Chain A
Amino acid sequence: MSIYADLILDHYQHPRNNTLLTPGVSKSVDVNNPLCGDKLHMEIIEKDGVMQEIGFTGEGCAISIASASMLSEYAKGKSKAELLDLNAQDVVGLLGIDLTPNRMKCALLGWEALIKLLNN
């Protein structure tokens, strides 16, 4: 079975929350995976422990972009505690496909950015 399911391709070609937020209000972080050359810039606005807004830009493979897109959809409106509670399996679970260890790094790049922002 191909991992390039319609949903993944849709999120890759039309990423959700693929935007920059209001500077000064948001926190931002840059992460990258030098092995594949993937780069993500993520921004969040958090208020009273709740994720108000999230946006990201970047370039990468279908898996990394789709994963960041799906994670951003999931994260909106969730509490900080809830999001910090996510583990790698949960994040891959959002994609709904099986990944080889090599592609896990791609799938988890957006999560890495989110965790950095939440812990910052």
Chain B
Amino acid sequence: MIQELTIMAILLGIIHSGIRLATPYLFAALGEMFGQRSGVLNLGVEGIMLMGAFFGFYVLFKTGNPWLGMGAAAVVGILMGLLMSVVSITLQAEQGISGIGLYMFGLGMSSLLFKTMLGTVEGAQGFSELRFCITDSFCLADIPILGDIFFSHSVITYAAFALVPISIWILNKTTWGLKIRAAGQNPEAADSLGVSVTAVRYASVILGSALAGIAGASLSISLLGIFQENMTAGMGFIAVALVYFGGWSPVGILAGALLFSIINALQLWVQVLNLPIPSDMAVMLPYIITIIALAVPFRRAASPAALGKPFARGEN
């Protein structure tokens, strides 16, 4: 098989699927970044992704409209985010544990709904890949190498990458971004200046959860066109790890997401090409890299000072 495909084609294939696979990581990790910058560690991303993946796919399957599916996933994400916010912000629960509870709920609930509402694995056509045709006969996607890498992805993938500059702008150039950073860095000071730490944290967690829902749907609708039980297989947790690895900055997260998705693509190609590496070992690779990535962050940034600490006015 190796002889049939040139090294070049394989490399291009890895880069192409790497960029595609970065989509859910980017949505989920950038969303999680907002929550963490505001001081809330939302470990339920995996569960929210699964719920988003299911509802997004279900709506697509029933209506045939992928945009409705993405919308449904965002709504489910918002509801899950609201639940997480009530438990972790208002009721000040230990965030490491409440997130695991949310994950278990999302995993169980999405599997239950899948079994009762779909029953079997179904396929559905989501977004097709754009080709950027300038004339009838010439499309940017046909440009050798560059076309494969830059001009042949679905609109959702471009949206995920566009979220990086948008996040930078929100965090650094808007008042709301300033409030988010203040709530995560020094909630007492923010509070004394009249910023409602609770409101900012609610908004950040809910925004992040909506993005996590969209991340799940991007996987089921855009990337794979199917829903399976536990289909995210740890992607949500890796997304949380990417926020640490990326030093809480959108650019760092972009670098991490690309690194991870390319490793994932590499791992898939190892299986496709039947290389003499046991596939079980190849599947392990992303998880091992995650642990290493956590030990060696992209840049040694300090975490938001109040990350994981519930805020109660007058008590801290």
Interaction A to B? no
